[in-house]
Structure 1
Amino acid sequence: MSGRRRQDTSYCGHIALQRALRAAAKTEGVISLKVIVDHPLMQPIMFETMGIDEQKYPGLCQTTNRLLKRFASHELAASEFVSDDAAWQEVAVLDEALDVLEQNRTIKGRWRMIRDRFFNIHKTIR
């Protein structure tokens, strides 16, 4: 994540959600989808996607909605991930995300981010 949109949760959230939706669409047998986002992302992403709030980036919202139509059914939800009542799938995803963040704090992880910035430009949200 770099550039002037570094702190823009709407822009980065839509890009991250689109990447996750593309990855889920490639998974064999996925027909219905339930997207659960952390509560702070509910307003900038979910409300824009559902058309409740004004769209800050109409093109990104349009692409996100188009990607959601790849599935036979989809459900959008928000949750607070600090409680102990999380499902095992949610805990597994959060643990994996925290592991990746911790890896990026190491020297090897920082080197990988610099390398990806120049050679795998599609991995960096700009």
Structure 2
Amino acid sequence: MPSAPIEKVAITDAAAALVAELAAAHGPLLFHQSGGCCDGSSPMCYPRAEFLVGDADVLLGWVAGQPFYMSAAQYEYWRHTHLTVDVVPGRGGGFSVEAPTGKRFLIRSRVFTDLEADSLAEEVVPTGRRH
């Protein structure tokens, strides 16, 4: 019997509740894992219609009904890492939709176990599609 695929990204209940609030106000959203200097490794959350996913972005999975992307170059460094989107009090990235709420998304990470790494399905590849 085949096992369930290993998820690369997850979300906490608290973060999922904030996503639900934000989606009610802004419509469909998407996450893009920031790799820039200004926001560190904050996951940025945008209205889906306002963010152009590039050909070199990879879809890691879905969290709270929203797609989660990362650049292929950054994924090369994080490919062995499971990501969990969480939320904490504080000011988020200026362009991320949660910024005015007094909360910010952050990533908690861990290296995949050997069993998980062995079970990972085909490697994630650039989407080449736009959402």
Provide TM-score, normalisation by structure 2: 0.27
Indicate the structure with greater helix content. Answer: 1
Provide TM-score, normalisation by structure 1: 0.27
Q: Greater CA radius of gyration, 1 or 2?
A: 1
